[in-house]
Amino acid sequence: NAGVTQTPKFQVLKTGQSMTLQCAQDMNHEYMSWYRQDPGMGLRLIHYSVGAGITDQGEVPNGYNVSRSTTEDFPLRLLSAAPSQTSVYFCASSSPLSSSGDTQYFGPGTRLTVL
């Protein structure tokens, strides 16, 4: 199993540009989440999904869109990038109904810089 994969690893955008961060998992996990990690603030939940076709907002959803058309994929879209979105983005998946419970499995992260 590859686990949770994310692309790209690094990205530089100009203010106003849009882009999509990709996330995929091959563990058949129902739940997937996007977090951003900023110094001194830990991980903050952006959006999450409890299954294909179902998404909901987390703590900091403004400026981001998500969709979940398949169990495996959960892309995060930045509609119009702003410098405040400079961060490291982590995708995670979990399977609360399995033996691992709410344990989150994280991808390697995408480091995004918005100029």
Partner 1 sequence: AQSVSQHNHHVILSEAASLELGCNYSYGGTVNLFWYVQYPGQHLQLLLKYFSGDPLVKGIKGFEAEFIKSKFSFNLRKPSVQWSDTAEYFCAVSLTGGFKTIFGAGTRLFVKA
Binding region for partner 1 (CB under 8 A): 31, 33, 35, 40-45, 48, 50, 58, 90, 92, 94, 96, 101-104, 106-109
Angle at 45 between CA 90 and CA 36, to 5 degrees: 40
Closer to partner 1 at the Cβ: 5 or 17?
5
Q: Which is nearer to partner 1, 77 or 111 (CB)?
A: 111
Q: Which is nearer to partner 1, 18 or 59 (CB)?
A: 59
List phi, psi (to 5°) of 78.
-100, 120
Q: Do strands 19-25 and 31-38 pair parallel, antiparallel, or not at all (unpaired)?
A: unpaired
Least Å distance between CB 108 and partner 1? 5
Give least dist CB 97 to partner 1, A: 9
Decide whether 2 or 40 has the Cβ nearer to partner 1. Answer: 40
Least distance to partner 1, CB of residue 99, Å: 10
- What is the side-by-side order of every strand in the sheet holding 76-78? 4-7, 19-25, 76-78, 64-66
Measure the N-to-C terminal CA separation of the chain; round to a whole number of Å.
36
β-partners of residue 4 are 25
